[in-house]
Chain A
Amino acid sequence: MGTVVVIDLYTGGEPATAEEYRHLAQARAILHRADAVFSTWKPDSPVSRLRRGEIELGEAPPEVREVLELCAAARDASHGWFDPWAIPGGVDPTGYVKGWAAQRALDALLTSRVTGALVNAAGDIACHGSPVPGAPWRIGVADPASPGRLAAVVDVAGAIATSGTYERGAHLFDPRAGAPASRVASATVTGPELGLADALATALAVGGADALELVESLDSYEAFTIGKDGARTATARFPFAAGTGAGSPGVA
């Protein structure tokens, strides 16, 4: 549905070579393949057919099972706030797939010349290395109340994902209320792996402050939410960049 993916490769001042372009082509193929297999906008994709009951899981490509197993783990980790099986129309792993595919695309880019790499899949971002030696990746978080403004800047070492009411799609389904819902305007999660960060951000967008405390208990994952009233809440070690005016985040 019109996802634009931007890939930035840093090669430490050296020109990119044919090897980088080959890896880029691999990364691109990974993204296209994920779209072909998982897109619920494509009526004939394996996941669409699975959702309609036309095929069984064993007849789908193996990565479908892999992703659904990861979704089950994310459902457990999020205490059910992220639940692809609660979505009407059949299991929908969309809230995990974008980050999962982008993370795999990043992993395919890493040649010996690459000193830094960043894959930005419509705001879900996976990073490797650094943009300049010794510097962290600095990623802005869009302000849901003010288009064109940032709510915060974050030092990112691995991955960052944001979910919010301005996103469209069934993945903001509240499994506990039985109807589409969102308790926050924006939820951002950082951590080592983008697929799980993506799922946790989706869980937080639905569960809000109730879900924040369970992210607090997850090693290596941190979260930051902005309520519809503008209230900001973050886990204790959420990596706001120094002096970037993150507002006054409360600590869960």
Chain B
Amino acid sequence: MRRTPIVLAATAAGLAGVLGFHTKPAHISFGVSSGTATGAAATGGSSPASTSGASAGTSSKAATPTTTAPAHASPPASAGASGTRTATGVVVNYNYGLMSVKVTASGKKITHVSIAMLDDGGNSLSQSIDQQSIPLLEQQALQAQSGNIQGVSGASYTSAGFAQSLQSALSKLGLK
């Protein structure tokens, strides 16, 4: 059985669309970038332009910053190969500690949202997780505990802190 999870992220002042395609469920490994098997989930026919998220997810593994807390400096946007740009948003308080969000874009298209830095109240976790964001981090951590569930209702997804850091990164990329 194939499943095709697709991630959309919407911000307050604009919309950041992120599409990630997985041929098997993504997993989180703290401390290392996840071994997400991104691949072309579509066969035949033409895929919409947004499927560029699949290949961008693979290439973005090259950038895995290991920012340790308290890295309150927030670096400016940087340009990488093939027109990809990344930016890390300001460090913010989310529900359980400090975090900052990293956004990767190709042109005007956001291809990747991930956690640049996470500090859970002294239990510092330095990680960059491909194609994940804090809400998914929480969701998947909860799912991994219980096995055989397809979602979680009620986790603190709508973190204003996450949105704030995401928005900061988007602004640095000139993507509002």
Binding site for B on A (CB under 8 A): 1-22, 24-25, 28, 31-32, 35, 39, 41-42, 118, 120, 122-125, 131-132, 137-142, 144, 147-150, 153-154, 160-164, 166-169, 186, 188
- Whether A28 pairs with B153 at a CB distance below 8 angstroms is no
> Contacts of A147 on B, CB cut-off 8 Å?
95-96, 138, 156
Contact partner, B10, options A2, A123, A149, Cβ 8 Å: A2
Binds A, one of B28-36, B37-45, B66-74, B102-110: B37-45
- Whether A21 pairs with B42 at a CB distance below 8 angstroms is yes
Give chain B interface residues in 7-55, CB to chain A under 8 Å. 7-13, 15, 17, 41-48, 50-51
**Given A39-B12, A41-B12; A4-B5 close (CB under 8 Å):** no
A144 to B95, CA, bound (A): 12
Q: Show 11 residue pairs from A and B whose CB-CB distance is below 8 angstroms, ordered by the A residue.
A: A2-B166, A4-B7, A4-B135, A8-B3, A19-B45, A20-B4, A21-B47, A24-B6, A120-B139, A123-B154, A153-B149
**A4-B133, A186-B154 known, 17 other contacts, Cβ within 8 Å:** A2-B10, A2-B164, A8-B4, A10-B1, A15-B42, A17-B44, A18-B45, A20-B4, A25-B50, A41-B13, A122-B135, A122-B158, A138-B149, A139-B151, A142-B142, A161-B153, A169-B158
Any A CB within 8 A of the CB of B155: yes
Main secondary structure of the interface of B (DSSP, over half): mixed
> Contacts of B143 on A, CB cut-off 8 Å?
140
B162 to chain A, nearest CB (A): 5
- Whether A120 pairs with B4 at a CB distance below 8 angstroms is no
A46 to chain B, nearest CB (A): 16
A112 to B17, CA, bound (A): 26
Contact partner, A2, options B4, B136, B155, B162, Cβ 8 Å: B162
B49 to chain A, nearest CB (A): 10
Contact partner, B151, options A11, A41, A125, A167, Cβ 8 Å: A125
Any A CB within 8 A of the CB of B82: no
> Contacts of B146 on A, CB cut-off 8 Å?
140, 150, 153
Identity of the chain A residue whose Cβ is nearest the Cβ of B162 in the assembled complex: A2
Give the one of B8, B15, B43 with max A CB within 10 A.
B8
> Contacts of A167 on B, CB cut-off 8 Å?
156, 158
> Contacts of B162 on A, CB cut-off 8 Å?
2
One digit per residue, 1 when the CB lies within 8 angstroms of any chain A CB and 0 when it does not, for chain B 104-142 equals: 000000000000000000000000000001011011011
Identity of the chain B residue whose Cβ is nearest the Cβ of A109 in the assembled complex: B6
